[in-house]
């Protein structure tokens, strides 16, 4: 009976913490921070034009990358917002909702990762709150940036493939492979870190990684790389070309 009561008490704590995380990420999005950054405005407008006309702001139909001011935005920062603009007005709050949802998802995945590594409810609860309200994660989750979903995918990869030998399970390899592939479309750093993540998983689990699981891990990443190489005409590295010292 006491174990049952303790379980219910912990469930109540996690429900309260999850409620605080959700409220902290979605309340007052338009006012804090006030207005929209130029990147946010571009993402929001492109999402609106895609939803209503099937083109970006320059008239390109269903682009893989979205042309911006001297840059090309990733599809995962724009397409998830597009359906919302079909039935909601294009406001700062609506523009920032996908990023807020990503911040909430980040806290939940980090908490699951902590539980898988430590099997401690205390640690999982603390990580849930720390990840949700750590200033860097919290403030970026309240503005619409490409990096938000990329961060979530990094935690998904760690949860699926790296924690407790996850890569020895086929299901974990499927999730990790898809997450690494999506990371290449989430933000420009993902196009380089995806290879690093894949190599890290393979090296970490090389003694126990069978060829079928290796194929499941690598195939989505190879397909994503092929799509970027053939479908973007070099735009996937446009930002790097503009800021690189090489």
Write phi, then psi, for 61 (nearest 5 degrees): -75, 130
Nearest to 180 by CA among 196, 204, 165, 164: 196
**72 by DSSP, 3-state: which?**
strand
Angle 174-176-177 from CA coordinates, rounded to 5°: 65
> Max Cα separation, the chain?
66
In a domain, 113, yes or no: no
Question: Is 190 inside a domain boundary?
Answer: yes
- pLDDT computed for residue 2 by the predictor: 41
Q: Decide if 219 is inside a domain.
A: yes
pTM of model > 0.75: yes
**What is the C-alpha separation between 40 and 193, in angstroms, rounded?**
24
Residues (pLDDT < 70) of the chain are: 1-7, 70, 163-168, 231-246
66: helix, coil or strand? Answer: strand
So what's the pLDDT on residue 245?
Answer: 44
Q: Considering the domain boundaries, does residue 178 fall inside one? A: yes
Which token pair is 207? 């003694």
In a domain, 72, yes or no: no
User: In the chain, how many domains are there?
Assistant: 1
CB 123 within 8 A of CB 88: no
Q: What is the pLDDT of residue 35?
A: 84
90 neighbors 45 (Cβ within 8 angstroms): yes
Residue 241 pLDDT:
53
Instruction: Look at residue 234 in the predicted model and tell me its pLDDT.
Output: 53
Tokens describing residue 213 = 């699981």
Check residue 117 and give its pLDDT: 87
Instruction: Assign 61 to helix, strand or coil.
Output: strand
In a domain, residue 217? The reply is yes
**Helix and strand counts by DSSP (H, E) for the chain:** 11, 2
The answer to whether position 21 is within a domain reads no
Structural domain of 175: 161-246
* Residue 131 domain-assigned (yes or no): no
Phi, psi of 41 (to 5 degrees): -60, -40
Q: Please give the pLDDT value at position 238.
A: 53
Alpha helices in 119-210 (DSSP H): 121-133, 135-140, 147-157, 170-186, 190-204
Report d(CA 182, CA 205) in Å as an integer.
Answer: 21
């Amino acid at each position: 009976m006491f174990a049952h009561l303790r379980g219910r008490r912990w469930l109540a704590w996690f429900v309260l913490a999850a409620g605080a995380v959700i409220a902290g990420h979605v309340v007052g999005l338009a006012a804090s921070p006030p207005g929209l950054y130029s990147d946010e405005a571009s993402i929001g407008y492109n999402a609106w034009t895609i939803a209503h006309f099937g083109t970006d702001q320059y008239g390109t139909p269903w682009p893989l990358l979205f042309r911006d001011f001297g840059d090309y935005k990733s599809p995962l920062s724009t397409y998830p917002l597009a359906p919302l603009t079909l039935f909601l007005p294009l406001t700062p709050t609506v523009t920032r909702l996908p990023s807020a949802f990503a911040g909430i998802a980040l806290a939940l995945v980090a908490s699951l990762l902590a539980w898988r590594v430590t099997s401690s409810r205390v640690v999982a609860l603390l990580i849930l709150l720390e990840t949700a309200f750590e200033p860097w994660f919290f403030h970026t989750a309240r503005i619409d940036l490409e990096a938000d979903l990329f961060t979530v995918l990094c935690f998904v990869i760690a949860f699926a493939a790296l924690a407790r030998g996850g890569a020895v399970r086929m299901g974990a390899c499927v999730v990790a492979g898809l997450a690494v592939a999506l990371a290449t479309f989430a933000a420009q750093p993902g196009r380089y870190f995806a290879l690093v993540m894949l190599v890290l998983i393979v090296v970490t689990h090389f003694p126990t990684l069978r060829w079928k699981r290796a194929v499941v891990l690598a195939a989505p990443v190879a397909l994503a790389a092929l799509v970027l190489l053939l479908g973007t005409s070099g735009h996937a590295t446009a930002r790097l070309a503009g800021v690189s010292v090489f």
